[in-house]
Structure formats: C-alpha cells, structure tokens
Structure 1
Amino acid sequence: MSRPAEAPDHGTAADRRRSRFGDWSATATHHTPAEDAQAILTGVLLAALGLSILAHLKFLTGGVAGLALIVSYVFGINVGLAFFLINIPFYALAAGRMGRAFTLKTFVAIALLSLVSWWLPLVFKVAYIDPLAGAVIGGLLIGFALLALFRHRASLGGAGILAIYLQDRFGFRAGLVQLAFDLTILVIALFVVEFQAVIFSLVGALVLNGFLAVNHRTDRYIAT
C-alpha cells in the first residue's frame, strides 16, 4: 500500500524570512570582533568617499543616503549628520526584525559615517571630476561599502529595513517598496537639483545596485 503524500513543510515564519533575506539576526559567524571592526571602518570610509564625490557634483543616490543628500543641499547641513538623524526611526525596526547584533553594528556604522563625513573635507577635497566618471565611481564606492557591511551582518540602515518590515507585516514585496522609495527620492530631486544631475544620479544608482546584485549572493558567501 502506498503511503499518503505528506504536506509540504514550509517552516516557521522566521525560517521563511531567513530564506528570503538571509539570517540577518545571526550572531554566530566566522568573523571575529576585530574583523567586524575592520570591515565596518573600511565600509564607512568607502561610503564617505562615495558620498563626498556625489555631494561635490550635486548628485544623489537611492535610499536614505539620497534623502540625506537632499536635506544637506536644502538646509546646508553636513550629509553625515543628516544621514544619522534620518536613520533614527529605523533603529527600532532593525532591533525588532534583525536582532541585537545587527542593530548595534548598524548603529555604530551610521554614527561613524557621520563623524567621517565631518572629518573627510578637512583632509580630502575634490577639485574636479567628470560627471559621468563621478557617478560611476561614487556608485561603486558606496556599493563596495555596503558589500563589506552586509558580509559582516551590518548595514547603513534606511529603507531596506523598512522594506523588510513592510513585507513581513503587510505582505508588500520588499523589492517594490525599495523601488518606490528610490523613485520618490528621484522625484523630490527634480525640485532640488538640475535634471541632468538626476540623470547622472540614476546612472550611479544603477551602478551601485548592479554591483550589489552581482556580488551580494548568499550562495557565494556564507558567514555562519
């Protein structure tokens, strides 16, 4: 007699979240605290360099970083400080959805980015850079920064955390939420910077996200 087919086991809600996003709340990795610190410092410096180039050209990028650039252009405040303040509401979401270790490392990364963004103009100034080259280089630098942070269970906060929360809470697709956020940033940018700058900003955002799409894959890099 044949056995009845068993119902598929879809696992718990936490298992389903891990399958979609990776286990961001995991703390048991092969990385030592010193290695995490090195990755966070490197990622923050690369991100600050990328944002410095974009800010020099009056360009933008996606996510909260783009919103921070808009705030810095409109109100004349340091982009790092704007980035830190805008991210404050996302810390609670990160703590609830990503775990304590992820939230702590993300908070440290964002705080360091604020400090480095204040310090960098004192030791590094951009005299001239071609707009297209600046968009590509800026996008790549921020992409490298995010990759370093992601591989050590950290981030620069922002819309990605909100996207994951909305998907888990209401079923909205995280990718579509992120896309909607980025498109909103570009629409706001039309009222803040020149149209040509928006086009170059879009190029930089495509470079950044294309770099992450190719290199940030859990089947190629597993730190557990």
Structure 2
Amino acid sequence: MKNSEISLGKPSLLSHSAFDDVYGLSLGVMFIALGLNLLKLSGFITGGIAGMALLVSYWLPMSIGMLFMLVNIPFLIFSYFSMGKAFALKTVSVSLVLGLTTHFLPYVIHIDYLHPVFAALFGGTIIGLGILCLARHNASVGGTGALTLWMQKKYRINAGKSQMALDALVFVVALTCMDASIVALSAVSAVAMNAMLIIWHKPGRYNGGK
C-alpha cells in the first residue's frame, strides 16, 4: 500500500489548530463556570479543585472564582513540571479565565428556581463535559484534574476513576460541616461529572493535537 493511502481502521491524526484550541477551551470554560454556579445556587459542592473552592466559599466571604484561582496555585506549579510547558500555559490561562467567568456569570444569568436533583445531575454533567473539552485540547482546570491526567498519561490509569477516588476525600471533609443529605446529592454531581471522563476519556481513545 502506498504511503498516500490510508489504512482502514487507522485514520491519520491531525493536530488541533490555534482556532480549534481557542474554541474548545472556551467551550470548556463556559460549561464548567455554568455547572459550578448551578451547584453553588443549590448549596452543593463537587469534587476536585472546583469542589475545594466551593467548600471554602461557604466559610470565607469570597467568590468561587477568586477562591478557585487561589487554591489552584500549587497545582498549577505541579502541572508545569509534570505535564510540560504547553500544558501548563494553557492550564494557567484556563484557570484565570474560568475564575473570572465564574465570578461574573451570576451577573448575567439569574435563576429563580432550580430543582436540587436536576442541579446535581446537570451541573455535574456539564462540568465533566467542560473538563473533557479541556483535556481534548491538552489542558485542564489545574487542581486534581492535572494530577489525574498526569496519572493517566504516565500510568494509564483512567482519569475519571482516579478523580472519583480523590473526590471522595473532599466529601469526607464536607461531612464535618455540611448536612449529610447535601453531601449525598453533591456526590451524585461528582459521579455525573466523572462519568463523562470514565466513558469518553479512556487511555488511547483520543489522540488529538498536543
């Protein structure tokens, strides 16, 4: 077979263009920001760095966006040394834009009623979708997401499964200061979020642009 021919079952891989990256990362940021605000409105938390920021927001009079950026600093440093410069730069950019978007979103969207079960399922799902968008474009929101993507890259451990294990620690801490029923629904949102990664971000399934 000639080199110009494409073998069946083995399509050639194309790197993402700059436009692809900007569009994909922007969608990811918008999905995550919306999901976080839905959970915040319902008094829930979620897993990972977003869950940490939400949890601290119930103790400190600061916006989720500002807390997200502050809590994320040590994880961003980790991503630079473990995942490379390109990943780290994208992740820092995403973190800053996500913090600002999450902070200002309540000024442009006002919700009068939100059913808690819907908030948990839909909020968690679109956060997971946002994280997936970022991962497909070689970025993350930082935090434990950077850690789980590094584990998947280095040890082939599914990012969704390892993220779910780390999320359990966040919920254990939440039980010390939140009602068990709220934590239970928060756990539902985390399962919905990680299901997106478990199903759609399996090692080797997607090999898009670096």
Category of TM-score, reference length = shorter chain = 0.7 to 0.9
1:216 aligns with 2:201: yes
User: CA contact under 8 A between 1:93 and 1:165: conserved in structure 2?
Assistant: no
Amino acid paired to 2:191: L
Q: Distance in 2 between matches of 1:29 and 1:167?
A: 21
Unaligned runs of 5+ in 1: 1-27
1:69-88 alignment runs, 5 A limit: 69-88=54-73
Q: Distance in 2 between matches of 1:168 and 1:121?
A: 36
Corresponding position of 1:33: 18
Residue deviations 1:40-74, cap 9 Å, x none? Answer: 11110110000000000010111111010011111
1:217 Cα deviation after fit: 2.6
User: CA contact under 8 A between 1:70 and 1:192: conserved in structure 2?
Assistant: no
User: CA contact under 8 A between 1:58 and 1:193: conserved in structure 2?
Assistant: no
Which deviates further from its counterpart, 89-98 or 210-219? Answer: 210-219
Which deviates further from its counterpart, 133-142 or 90-99? Answer: 90-99
Corresponding position of 2:108: 123
Which deviates further from its counterpart, 173-182 or 92-101? Answer: 173-182
**Number of residue pairs the alignment of both structures matches:** 195
Q: Distance in 2 between matches of 1:194 and 1:212?
A: 28
1:189 Cα deviation after fit: 1.0
Unaligned runs of 5+ in 2: 1-12
Q: Distance in 1 between matches of 2:151 and 2:207?
A: 26
1:192 aligns with 2:177: yes
Corresponding position of 2:85: 100
Q: Distance in 2 between matches of 1:212 and 1:167?
A: 11
Q: Distance in 1 between matches of 2:49 and 2:141?
A: 9
Q: Distance in 2 between matches of 1:100 and 1:165?
A: 13
TM-score by length of 2: 0.84
**Corresponding residue SS for 2:59:** helix
1:141 aligns with 2:132: no
Corresponding position of 2:39: 54
Q: Distance in 1 between matches of 2:20 and 2:176?
A: 42
Q: Distance in 1 between matches of 2:205 and 2:162?
A: 26
Residue deviations 1:25-54, cap 9 Å, x none? Answer: xxx961111211111111101100000000
Q: Distance in 1 between matches of 2:181 and 2:46?
A: 14
TM-score by length of 1: 0.79
The RMSD of aligned alpha carbons is 2.5
